[in-house]
Amino acid sequence: MTDTPGPGEIDLDYITPINDRLRAMAPPVTRELTRREADTLLRSYLEPPCFPDAVRRLAERHLLVLVGQEETGKRLGALALLSRMSLAEGTITVLPPGRSAAELLSRTEYAPGRAYLLYDWIIAGTDRTELINLARKLAELGSYLVVTRNGAPSRAVEVEQAWGAPDPGELFDLCLSTYDLRAGLAPEVLAGARDRALTLTTPAQVVRLAAGLGPIELPAAGRTRPQPVLAELRGRPRP
């Protein structure tokens, strides 16, 4: 990874929950996420136990729908999966969440060798035939699409992947190391914070706990922050 933030910088925007109503109000437009921005977002990413199997299945099928409870890291997991694929173009195209399975199959234009992401799918399609046909279409182009949605798996088991959160203790340790947050903190403070992390139920809570242990530095001039990037992807103006 290159052009990542300096010590102390930490991404907090991706873990801000947005309810379904706000998601539905997002404009139906396609946006782009550069590889540099994706690498920045993934700097402190910890792969959950299901990740290796998901990489294998995406490589084989070219389409994968990550299914699970809210705030289990599906959005960053989708980015991490796409970053593992061999692509002709590093930019990730983010599709609007309001498209149906039929629209993704017949009314969406895909370029060869590209990566596509559809997060927080609003009109979740469970039509097995449509999703399998979409996977075949993407495979013919050598392109990949990862979709995230909340809920339980459907009948389209060939292209769905049950998703879960990473180990909270390991994620906490990774955040401390990645953002150099241990400096100046007493061992008992770190131990108490880690014990607290083990009781938290979502990756978002763990990252916020770790971020609260140290100062958050502003980025150097010219360096892209992930917060405005994802704000724009969600249809909100950059500050």
67-112 pLDDT, tens digit each: 999 889 999 999 999 999 988 678 899 998 888 899 999 999 999 9
pLDDT, greater one: 111 or 222: 111
Q: For residue 85, give both structure tokens.
A: 């694929």
Is the per-residue pLDDT at 59 higher than 90? yes
Complete edge-to-edge strand list for the sheet that includes strand 31-33? 31-33, 92-94, 115-118, 144-150, 63-68, 160-162
pLDDT band of 152, cuts 50, 70, 90: confident
Average pLDDT over residues 171-193: 89
pLDDT of 85 reads: 93
Percent of the chain with pLDDT over 90: 49
Nearest to 147 by CA among 84, 90, 66, 71: 66
